[in-house]
Chains A and B, each alone.
Chain A
Amino acid sequence: MNNFIKIKNLYKIFGNNCTEALNSVKTGISKEELLEKTNCVLGLNDINLNIPKGKIHVIMGLSGSGKSTLIRHLNRLIEPTFGEITIDGVNVLELNNKELLEYRQKNMSMVFQKFALFPHKTILENISYGLMVQNISEEIYQEKSQFWLKRVGLEGYDNYYPNQLSGGMQQRVGLARALATDAEILLMDEAFSALDPLIRSEMQDVLIDLQLELKKTIVFITHDLDEALKIGERISILRDGSIVQDDNPQKIILNPSDNYVSDFIKDINRSRVIKAKSIMTNFVSIKKENVPIIDSEMVLEEVLQEITKTKNYYVLVKNKKDKIIGKITLNQLLTGIQRPRKEIEKYA
């Protein structure tokens, strides 16, 4: 199930009479040039992406890089100019109108940056919406909606209207509305960006907690690296409609593929993000006296504390099964915490 969602050679060009522009784009014309020459806006440029089932896949990028455009192709709120999208073996672009509606009803739901709740419906009616659209009997959707209302911690708010709730609570409703349909795929377009930091972090925890239990395929858009690192199991970075790096979070920090990506990660507190397993050297050993053994998921900040406890200035690393799999020396640790040299020169 590694290729649950498969995107192949996807292009999107906005504008009227822009089908011809596709050829120029394919020959490598830049976004600015295209706009100048033809008045067409390059939204997505040759996207190839595989998203595995049951994971949180983060898509990052600056404003205007095409994140919203990309995610809206998955449920075809935006039609592509060219390309292929297969989800769980279904060619999404070949669905006719009726099939598409049903596909949206059953297989994916979306959470929005500005919540996009229905202001004229009560909280419970909002949560029921996806089920109501499917003409499910009222009894069933009432029960399901009540369940999700409780699950996101809003018990008793059934008959409130959205504008009577705080932003954080509104997005809990947005989340419940999306989860209530039991869709396998959850699309979240900057779902927490409009919330203040404390509430945002709280919502991230809610999501992580739910995901432990639900194991949905979540495509999560953000422009906040901390958020991406906290919840993302894989991160794709978009720039001007192209994917510049698609990797696991640790690799993105340790090996940024270009300056755009290193720009993104330059302010990150590396010692709190990079994990022991990412910098250790593989090393099979038995336990040694006076040498601390740490967990491979430990972040470097904590490793530093452990390492200074010993005179040898190195630690052994164990995996979840308590087997020793590597070691980290003080030198390695310091290199890991330090920003790569070329970056330092650049920002000095």
Chain B
Amino acid sequence: MEWLTKFPEMDRNGLREFKKTVDNAFTSFSRNYGEGIENFFDPLLSFLVGFEKLFLNTPWPITIFVILFICWLASRSIIIIAGTLLSFLLIGYFGMWEDTMSTLAIILVATLLCIFIGIPIGIAMARSNKVQALILPILDVMQTIPSFVYLIPVVMLLGIGKVPGLIAVCIYAIPPIVRLTNLGIRLVDKDVLEAAESFGANYWQKLFGVQIPLALPTIFAGVNQTIMMALAMVVIASMIGVQGLGLPVLRAISNQYLALGLMNGLAIVVLAIIFDRVTQRIGKRMQRYKSD
């Protein structure tokens, strides 16, 4: 009755062989194609670096002014503007300006990337149940797999650096925008869609004239969540070479610097709150036709 108490597992050698084969296969894959893939991501790298440089080289008063101006356009709220101004002044005063700019750059690039990739995927899912059935489980895996686990292949393939960090952030942050784009489009009132159809609207006219505009508030909730998740990844991404507020936090953990950790941690929180409030305001303003 031994087989009942002891699980009939694979024998040790076999298991070792199995792991070795997988590792070797992936190593040789990354040796052969790593460089090609790296080259493929080169434009992304220059984009990210360009953004970072722009943020770092612009005199800080101008940067703050531009940020406030964008916040104003998006939210039209004095309170949010005042809060943003105060936050950035404090961040600068406590010596975290440069790290904050780096983080801002990577968050922006990651969010843009997620929007450009995520929204079309969401649209494709909304159009066909088969595509939805295919992609939903992938999204589930992306959201539940511990982020350290997928860092391994990314690092093996691309090494340590900004691009692997960016990719890691995107993998982690893209699911909500895909899900909510899909959901938003599917929830558009069937009667309204039928009306468009009865007037002879084609697929694209329905999509851009009716479905996306009506789904926009939901899609924007997705953008909001994507940004929040990207910010949450900042610390983990700094483990593989991403500059920014995550790095000091990492240092603080290993050296038990309480103040440093708290300050940078709070700066991340402050950024998160600003992003959240501003994007929520945009979402609300998109639904103006619903009120009054």
Which of A75, A103, A108, A116 is the one whose CB lies under 8 Å from B192? A116
Query: A112 contacts B200, CB within 8 Å?
Result: no
Q: B196 contacts which chain A residues (CB < 8 A)?
A: 118, 129, 133
Query: B194 contacts A77, CB within 8 Å?
Result: yes
Instruction: Give A151 Cβ to nearest chain B Cβ, in Å.
Output: 19
Query: B191 contacts A109, CB within 8 Å?
Result: no
Which of B191, B192, B194, B201 is the one whose CB lies under 8 Å from A133? B201
Task: Tell me the A86-129 residues at the B interface (CB within 8 Å).
Answer: 100-106, 108-110, 112, 114, 116-120, 129
Number of chain A residues whose Cβ lies closer than 8 Å to a Cβ of chain B: 30
Query: B202 contacts A101, CB within 8 Å?
Result: yes
Other A-B contacts than A119-B289, A163-B290, 6 sampled, CB-CB below 8 A, are A101-B200, A101-B201, A106-B200, A116-B194, A119-B189, A119-B214
Distance of A343 Cα from B155 Cα, bound (Å): 86
Query: B289 contacts A161, CB within 8 Å?
Result: yes
Query: B198 contacts A110, CB within 8 Å?
Result: yes
Distance of A109 Cα from B201 Cα, bound (Å): 12
Query: A110 contacts B195, CB within 8 Å?
Result: yes
Distance of A114 Cα from B194 Cα, bound (Å): 11
Q: B210 contacts which chain A residues (CB < 8 A)?
A: 118
Query: A116 contacts B195, CB within 8 Å?
Result: yes
Query: A119 contacts B192, CB within 8 Å?
Result: yes
Distance of A108 Cα from B197 Cα, bound (Å): 12
Distance of A75 Cα from B200 Cα, bound (Å): 9
Q: A161 contacts which chain B residues (CB < 8 A)?
A: 289
Query: 5 smallest A-B Cβ distances: which pairs?
Result: A105-B200, A104-B200, A116-B195, A110-B198, A116-B191
Q: How large is the interface on B (under 10, 10 to 19, 20 to 34, 35 or more residues)?
A: 20 to 34
Chain A residues with a Cβ under 8 A of chain B: 75, 77, 100-106, 108-110, 112, 114, 116-120, 129-130, 132-134, 161, 163-164, 177, 181, 187
Query: A134 contacts B200, CB within 8 Å?
Result: yes
Name the residue of chain A whose CB is nearest to the CB of B198. Answer: A110
Distance of A116 Cα from B190 Cα, bound (Å): 9
Which of A109, A110, A120 is the one whose CB lies under 8 Å from B214? A120
Instruction: Give B84 Cβ to nearest chain A Cβ, in Å.
Output: 29
Known contacts: A118-B210, A119-B290. The answer to whether A181 contacts B199 by CB under 8 A is yes
Known contacts: A101-B200, A104-B200, A163-B289. The answer to whether A133 contacts B195 by CB under 8 A is no
Q: B214 contacts which chain A residues (CB < 8 A)?
A: 119-120
Distance of A112 Cα from B197 Cα, bound (Å): 12
Among B195, B289, B290, which residue has the most Cβ atoms of chain A within 10 A?
B195
A-B contact pairs, 18 of them (CB 8 A): A75-B198, A101-B202, A102-B200, A103-B200, A104-B197, A104-B198, A108-B198, A109-B198, A110-B195, A110-B198, A110-B199, A112-B191, A116-B189, A116-B191, A118-B196, A129-B196, A134-B200, A181-B199
Distance of A110 Cα from B191 Cα, bound (Å): 12
Q: A129 contacts which chain B residues (CB < 8 A)?
A: 196, 199
Query: B192 contacts A77, CB within 8 Å?
Result: no
Q: Is B205 in contact with chain A by the CB < 8 A criterion?
A: yes
Instruction: Give B278 Cβ to nearest chain A Cβ, in Å.
Output: 22
Which of A102, A118, A163 is the one whose CB lies under 8 Å from B195? A118
Name the residue of chain A whose CB is nearest to the CB of B202. Answer: A101
Query: A112 contacts B199, CB within 8 Å?
Result: no
Q: B289 contacts which chain A residues (CB < 8 A)?
A: 119-120, 161, 163
